[in-house]
Amino acid sequence: MSSRPLEVLIIDENVVRATILEDGLRDAGDIVVHHIRDMDGLLARVAAINPDVILIDLENPSRDTLEQMFQVSRWAKRPIAMFVDKSDSDSVQAAIDAGVSAYVVDGLRRERVKSVLDVTISRFHVFNRLHEELSEARTALEERKLIEQAKGIVMKQKHVTEPAAYALLRRAAMNEGRKVAEIARSLVTAAALFDKDPT
């Protein structure tokens, strides 16, 4: 059995995720990593790279395009979707949970595929965590801004101090069983509606 390096192709419009994955795969041994970022002329480029394994986001709409290419009998190297063997169902489940799908050339040795898949799954998880933290931070920042705006409105309307304005918002939130940020959002929206002087 030859031991030429495994050609792995990552198809991902998300450059950050692709980079995280690429780094992980480079450390995993005898692997050549390719990356296609935009979907223009996808088929010609996949054919030119002629990969052994293709990794692509489970929700990428271009999966249908890829699967058609694999079905065409003119292309000899026909990778198949990974959801195949019952024996692989654990790693398939893990891959789906991580949001990745893989296409693997028929006849590839199982342990070679497994190491690629394991790295991919863990790297997708790293990315997902990063993404979650980022969006949480973004939401927190947005909420703080909203609360600041709402406090300003209350202070102006009721002629109260900043702490008193916040106390009012908090009490309203508790009474309605909602978050302070939600109350702040309704207040800001309402104020915008009544504002005769659009800024």
Q: For residues 66 and 82, what is the distance between their CA atoms, to the nearest angstrom?
A: 13
Interface residue with other proteins among 108, 160, 173, 191 (CB under 8 A) is: 108
Residue 53 in 3-state DSSP? strand
What whole-number distance in Å separates Cα of residue 73 and Cα of residue 130?
41
Per CB under 8 A, the list member of 28, 96, 126, 173 interacting with other proteins is: 96
Are the CB atoms for 34 and 9 separated by under 8 Å?
yes
Contact flag: residue 62 with other proteins (CB under 8 A):
yes
Cβ closest to other proteins, residue 43 vs residue 191: 43
28 binds other proteins (CB under 8 A): no
2 binds other proteins (CB under 8 A): yes
Q: Determine, following the binding rule CB under 8 A, whether residue 112 of this chain makes contact with other proteins.
A: yes
51 Cβ partners below 8 Å, 6+ apart?
Answer: 7, 8, 9, 34, 79, 105
Please say whether the beta carbons of 144 and 152 come within 8 A: no
CA torsion sign for 127, 131, 134, 136 is negative
Q: Which stretch binds other proteins (CB under 8 A): 8-16, 88-96, 155-163, 175-183?
A: 88-96
Residue choice 29, 71, 139, 167 for contact with other proteins (CB under 8 A): 71
The least distance separating other proteins from the CB of residue 76, rounded to whole angstroms, comes to 5
Query: Which residues sit at the interface with other proteins, rule CB under 8 A?
Result: 1-2, 4, 6, 40-41, 43, 52, 58-74, 76-78, 80-81, 83-84, 92-93, 96, 101, 105-109, 112
